[in-house]
Amino acid sequence: MTKADIKPKSMHRAKIWSDDVENLYRFQQAGYRDEVEYKQVKQVDKVECWPETGFVKKLQRRDNTFYYYNRQRECEDKDVRKVKVYVY
């Protein structure tokens, strides 16, 4: 199976906030499932992250516009349950 063929086996919703949920929230806001799909679609090796927190800093949407994110948490408690966590 090549890198481009990677598909998730299952999905569940996040229940509590974590650093991983924060990054998934940012990818899903930009229109991607997660970092794996972003790298497949945009053909990039590395996602730009904030060095202090490790959160995603900038993402390019499918229509080539950019989303820029803050260093701090952006996924509020009310939005945590909207985040989809994919299992490979």
Measured on CA atoms in the order 55, 42, 83, 5, is the torsion positive or negative? negative
If one counts the domains in the chain, the total is 1
Do the domain assignments include residue 22? yes
Per-residue pLDDT, 2: 54
Q: What is the per-residue pLDDT across 29-58, written as a single tens digit (0 to 9) for each? A: 999 999 999 999 999 999 999 999 999 999
Do the domain assignments include residue 66? yes
Of 72, 4, 64, nearest to 30 by C-alpha is 64
Q: Is 5 helix (H, G, I), strand (E, B) or coil?
A: helix
Range scoring the smallest mean pLDDT among 6-10, 13-17, 25-29: 6-10
Per-residue pLDDT, 3: 58
Q: Which two tokens stand for residue 45?
A: 């090796």
Per-residue pLDDT, 6: 80
Do the domain assignments include residue 47? yes
Do the domain assignments include residue 43? yes
In terms of residue numbers, what domain contains 71?
10-75+83-87
For strand 66-68 and strand 58-60, is the pairing parallel, antiparallel, or unpaired? antiparallel
Per-residue pLDDT, 7: 87
Q: Is the pLDDT of residue 26 over 60?
A: yes
